[in-house]
């Protein structure tokens, strides 16, 4: 009997222009949490999709409980006891929680003795039992679309657990979860470990990895680097193995010098009384203004209001002393304001379109000839300039953006807005879900923009990121601004005190 629940040996996988996996391997023990780490583009998710039958390996072998197997598709993987929670959610919002959890494997009954139909009563009873098992207080009949992104993530985790799996793959499972939901997930993981489930845990959050993992495997550029016992590992060691070098500073030196006030917001309030209210702040030329706050602080809602995505009732926005009337995003864009949204997949990239299309879509007006024809040569020059300037790793400008890593997708989206030469950039969680090496590259881009005189508003849920990158930090709680902290004087204690100043 093999000591491993599942082994992958010599796995290779290529896509047009890219060798995603090069002799990769992974060994999972029952009842252990195995962290799989590496930069974006290292091949982690590709390796898991090969394990789960989404991708067909070009080369390699898979052994399950000591037997060589061939996993042709996800349904076969599920039948074997392998379940996966994907990084990018695929919910069906118009169906109930129960229907989403049992999608493709509904309990059936015979109507009139011979007509097979879904047994909704059993499905909802089973869903209720499952939700209690994983400590989630949801109504099985509630529509999934009524839940928040973090709650949908929790339902996906429950769905995987419902399969009575022996191997569970969690790909960035906490990227959208609140602190309380993360703790709930960790309790579920401990329960699964006791049941002998082998768990693959993919995350860029070092504190999570060091807390919950038993073993750590690191990949780089599609290759296997090594496997270590998690006990005794340090963040510095993991980072050095991930990026292939020592990373002595997580944040670049900042040489930007904030100048005169260019952007002013006064008494800005949402049309929704439970959202942001009476918000006032100033933004200087060349300044990086961090925006901190706990989940529910209404930071994103405020920025969407300033960008014209959400309606407001009172307040004013001024740029260079001139009052702006922003009722829709086009008004903001026309006045030199750009916004990188929080959810890269849902409101950022256009996955089926090329890198070139995604870079140029916001500035095509500049490349029209005779008002109707796009000058493809000028567009290609724009794209190549951005690819070079931002070090975007892509086989070509024609590659579909969905095939790029998260960090490279984010750089494409920043390039999209820079093509419009905005003066004010709103960046909502610009480094969420990307690895430490790609984060550093994004930080360098932000610093260079500020040094060039661009004014940056950066929302982040990571206190270290706010303190490492901000000239000033504006803190929000429950829709209100509770204070400002100079970036040089900021401490986690000061920020947390302001983040929890509920009325």
3-class secondary structure, 354: strand
In a domain, 173, yes or no: yes
Helix then strand count (H, E) for the chain reads 17, 24
| pLDDT, position 187 | 86
Q: Do 118 and 263 belong together in one domain?
A: no
Of 208, 243, 278, which closes a domain? 243
Task: Decide which of 482 and 175 is more confident.
Answer: 482
For residue 69, what are the domain limits?
Answer: 6-243
- The verdict on 80 and 217 lying in the same domain is yes
Q: What is d(CA 149, CA 145) in angstroms, rounded to the nearest whole number? A: 9
Same domain membership, residue 213 and residue 151: yes
Asked if residue 396 and residue 295 are part of one domain, the reply reads: no
Q: Picking from 335-339, 344-348, 423-427, which range would have the lowest pLDDT averaged per residue?
A: 344-348
354 and 226, same domain (yes or no) = no
238 touches 216 (CB < 8 A): yes
| Res 240 pLDDT > 90 | no
Residues 218 and 228 in one domain: yes
How far apart, in whole angstroms, are the C-alpha atoms of residue 247 and residue 238?
10
Decide if 427 contacts 459 (C-beta within 8 A). Answer: yes
How would you label 273-308 residue by residue, b for 16+ Cβ within 10 Å and e otherwise?
eebbbebebbbbbbbbbbbbbbeebbbbbbbbbbbb
pLDDT value of position 472: 97
Tell me the average pLDDT across 39-49: 84
Distances (CA, A) of 443 to 254, 411, 450: 10, 11, 11
> Residue 220: is its pLDDT beyond 60?
yes
253 falls within a domain: no
Separation CA 52–CA 396 (nearest Å): 28
If one counts the domains in the chain, the total is 3
- Please, are residues 442 and 428 in contact by the beta-carbon 8 Å criterion? no
Of 94-108, 272-286, 324-338, 472-486, where does mean pLDDT reach its minimum?
A: 94-108
Q: What is the model's pLDDT at position 457?
A: 97
Order of strands across the sheet that contains 480-486: 337-340, 424-428, 455-459, 288-292, 472-477, 480-486
CA distance 2 to 8: 13
Q: Is 342 within the bounds of a domain?
A: no
In this structure, the answer to whether residues 140 and 218 fall within a common structural domain is: yes
Q: What is the pLDDT of residues 251-271, one digit of tens each?
A: 888 899 999 999 999 999 999
In a domain, 294, yes or no: yes
| Structural domain includes residue 454 | yes
- Reduced to 3 states (helix: H, G, I; strand: E, B; else coil), residue 357 is helix
Question: What Rg do the C-alpha atoms of the chain give, in angstroms?
Answer: 24
> How far apart (Å, rounded) are the C-alpha atoms in residues 298 and 274?
9
Q: How confident is the model at residue 248 (pLDDT cuts 50, 70, 90)?
A: low
- Reported as half-sphere exposure (CB side, CA atoms, 13 A), residue 194 has a value of 6
Among 92-96, 176-180, 278-282, name the most confident range. 278-282
Domain boundary among 243, 268, 302: 243
Q: pLDDT value at position 146? A: 85
Residue finishing a domain among 369, 396, 421:
421
Residue of higher predicted confidence among 347 and 398: 398
Mean pLDDT across the stretch 282-295?
A: 93
Asked whether 35 and 54 are in contact (CB, 8 A), the reply is no
Higher pLDDT, 303 or 165: 303
Give pLDDT tens digits for 77-125.
Answer: 988 989 888 766 677 888 999 998 888 788 888 888 888 898 899 999 9
For the record, the structure tokens of 320 come out as: 């260079």
CA angle 33, 84, 61 (to 5 degrees): 80
Does position 247 have pLDDT exceeding 60, yes or no? no
Span 351-365, average pLDDT: 80
Residue 503 has pLDDT above 80, yes or no: no
- With respect to residue 67, please indicate whether it lies within any of the assigned structural domains: yes
pLDDT of residue 316: 94
Check residue 354 and give its pLDDT. 86
Identify whether residues 311 and 442 lie together within a single domain: yes
Reported as a pLDDT band with limits 50, 70 and 90, residue 332 is very high
Average pLDDT over residues 410-419: 84
Structure pTM?
0.64
∠ CA 349-327-259 to the nearest 5 degrees? 80
Q: What is the CATH number of the domain that holds 113?
A: 3.40.50.300
pLDDT category of residue 378 using cuts at 50, 70 and 90: confident
Distances 231 to 211, 214, 343, 452 between C-alpha atoms, Å: 9, 7, 34, 45
CA distances from 136 to 80, 97, 127, 154, 185 (A): 26, 12, 11, 8, 10
pLDDT at 464: 84
Whether residue 400 has pLDDT greater than 80? yes
User: Are 54 and 188 in the same domain?
Assistant: yes
Burial of 309 (0-12, 13-18, 19+ CB in 10 A): middle
Task: Report pLDDT for 204.
Answer: 77
Same domain membership, residue 192 and residue 101: yes
pLDDT recorded at residue 214: 95
Q: What is the pLDDT at residue 447?
A: 95
CA proximity to 121, closest of 129, 308, 374, 350? 129
Backbone torsion region of residue 405, taken as left when φ is above 0, otherwise alpha when ψ lies between -120 and 50, otherwise beta = beta
Q: At what angle do helices 120-133 and 149-162 cross, to 10 degrees?
A: 100
Question: How confident is the prediction for the chain on average, in pLDDT?
Answer: 87
**Statement to judge: residues 322 and 272 lie in one domain:** yes
pLDDT in tens, 429-455: 888 777 777 788 889 989 999 999 999
**pLDDT over 70 at 315, yes or no:** yes
CA dist 413 and 425 (Å) reads 12
Is the residue at 1 inside a domain? no
Q: Which residues of 150-278 form beta strands (DSSP E)?
A: 167-171, 198-202, 215-220, 223-229, 261-270
Residue 199, pLDDT above cutoff 90? yes
On the question of pLDDT at 198 being above 90, the answer is: yes
Residue 292 and residue 209 share a domain:
no
| pLDDT value for 320 | 92
In a domain, 137, yes or no: yes
pLDDT at residue 88, as a whole number: 65
Strand bridging mode 6-15 / 59-64: antiparallel
| pLDDT greater than 80 at residue 181 | no
């Amino acid at each position: 009997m093999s000591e491993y629940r599942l082994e992958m040996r010599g796995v290779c996988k290529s896509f047009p222009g890219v060798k995603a996996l090069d002799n990769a391997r992974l060994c999972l023990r029952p009842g252990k949490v195995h962290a799989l780490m590496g930069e974006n583009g290292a091949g982690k998710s590709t390796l898991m999709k090969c394990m789960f039958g989404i991708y067909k390996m070009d080369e390699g072998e898979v052994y399950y409980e000591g037997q060589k197997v061939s996993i042709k598709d996800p349904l076969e993987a599920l039948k074997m006891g392998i379940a996966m929670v994907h990084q990018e959610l695929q919910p069906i919002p118009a169906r109930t929680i129960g229907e989403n959890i049992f999608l493709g494997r509904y309990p059936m009954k015979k109507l009139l003795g011979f007509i097979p139909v879904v047994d909704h009563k059993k499905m909802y009873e089973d869903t209720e039992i499952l939700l209690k098992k994983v400590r989630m207080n949801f109504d099985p009949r509630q529509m999934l679309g009524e839940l928040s992104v973090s709650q949908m993530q929790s339902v996906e985790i429950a769905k995987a657990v419902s399969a009575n799996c022996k191997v569970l793959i969690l790909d960035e499972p906490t990227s959208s979860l609140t602190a309380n939901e993360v703790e709930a997930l960790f309790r579920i993981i401990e329960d699964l470990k006791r049941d002998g489930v082998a768990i693959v845990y993919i995350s860029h959050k070092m504190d999570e990895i060091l807390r919950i993992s038993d073993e750590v495997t690191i990949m780089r550029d599609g290759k296997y680097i090594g496997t270590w016992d998690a006990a005794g590992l340090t963040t510095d060691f993991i980072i050095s193995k991930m990026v292939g070098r020592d990373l002595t500073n997580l944040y670049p030196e900042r040489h930007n010098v904030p100048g005169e006030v260019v952007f002013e917001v006064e008494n800005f309030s949402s049309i929704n009384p439970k959202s942001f209210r009476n918000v006032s702040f100033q933004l200087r030329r060349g300044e990086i203004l961090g925006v901190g706050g706990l989940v529910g602080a209404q930071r994103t809602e405020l920025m969407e209001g300033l960008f014209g995505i959400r309606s407001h009732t009172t307040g004013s926005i001024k740029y260079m002393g001139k009052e702006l009337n922003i009722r829709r995003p086009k008004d903001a864009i026309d006045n030199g304001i750009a916004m990188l949204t929080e959810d890269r997949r849902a409101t950022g990239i256009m996955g089926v379109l090329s890198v070139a299309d995604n870079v140029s879509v916001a500035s095509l007006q500049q490349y029209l000839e005779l008002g109707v024809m796009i000058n493809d040569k000028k567009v290609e020059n724009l794209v190549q300039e951005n690819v070079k300037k931002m070090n975007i790793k892509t086989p070509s400008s024609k590659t579909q953006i969905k095939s790029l890593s998260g960090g490279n997708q984010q750089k494409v989206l920043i390039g999209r807005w820079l093509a419009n030469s905005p003066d004010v950039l709103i960046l909502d969680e610009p480094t969420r879900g990307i690895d430490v090496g790609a984060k550093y590259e994004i930080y360098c881009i932000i610093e260079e923009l500020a040094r060039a005189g661009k004014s940056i508003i950066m929302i982040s849920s990571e206190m270290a990121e706010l303190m490492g990158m901000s000239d000033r930090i504006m803190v929000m709680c429950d829709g209100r601004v509770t204070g400002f902290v100079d970036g040089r004087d900021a401490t986690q204690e000061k920020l947390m005190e302001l983040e929890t100043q509920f009325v």
